[in-house]
Structure 1
Amino acid sequence: MMVIKKDQLITKQDIADFWDVMKKEEECLEMKITPTAIEILDGGNSAIAHYTHTESFRYNGEDKEDGRKKGSVFKGTLRWSDFMVKENDKWLVLGGHRDMTFPEGNLVQLNE
């Protein structure tokens, strides 16, 4: 589990490790990232990016009471927003948010 302390920078490896844990019981079958808006701020030194992430995946974990069964295939869409700053000609992500509350965010099972 990734534990971030106050004022600690998150590295690219931290994010990779986080996703390894979050997706350990899933096999990505298809993924599509769609930018919806990018707002450049502060004279080009910061930005907010909004996009959707649509993914189909196979659940490979143990059967769960919520209906997930090993081998089930699901599809869902998340909305994301990331806040970035430009430092030394590199864009750094400072923070973000994901949203599954809109209708497309609900996971739909594609197989029985």
Structure 2
Amino acid sequence: MSKKILAVDDSASIRQLVAFTLRGAGYQVTEAVDGQDGLQKAKSERFDLIFTDQNMPRMDGLTLIRSLRTLPQYASTPILMLTTESSAEMKAQGKAVRATGWLVKPFDPPKLIEVVRKVIG
């Protein structure tokens, strides 16, 4: 059975690029339009990995991660930030909410697949 990944980003083009890249590598991908949508989908379905952007309406990525980490099923699930934010301060905030890793947009599709394989196989 293929691994299930949730891609949370308010940019439709980024979500589509992430989904296209990961589906091409054999993963099942569900898309969410912002943090609130992502949280709802994560509560109704179990994912092996979650990608989230930081800057989104209704709920940002750090808030989403903080919320997910309170749920037993996501206490140790890999959650990767995929964002344009690259400051040390922002990365420190990501670490504080227990983000698994940090990728900066624009991303290189082969590199994205490499990271996913490292994290969930």
Bin for the TM-score computed over the shorter chain:
under 0.3
Q: Which has the higher contact order (CA 8 A, sep 6+)?
A: 2
Would you tell me which structure has more strand in proportion to its own residues?
1
The TM-score with structure 2 as length reference comes to 0.24
TM-score, normalisation: structure 1: 0.25
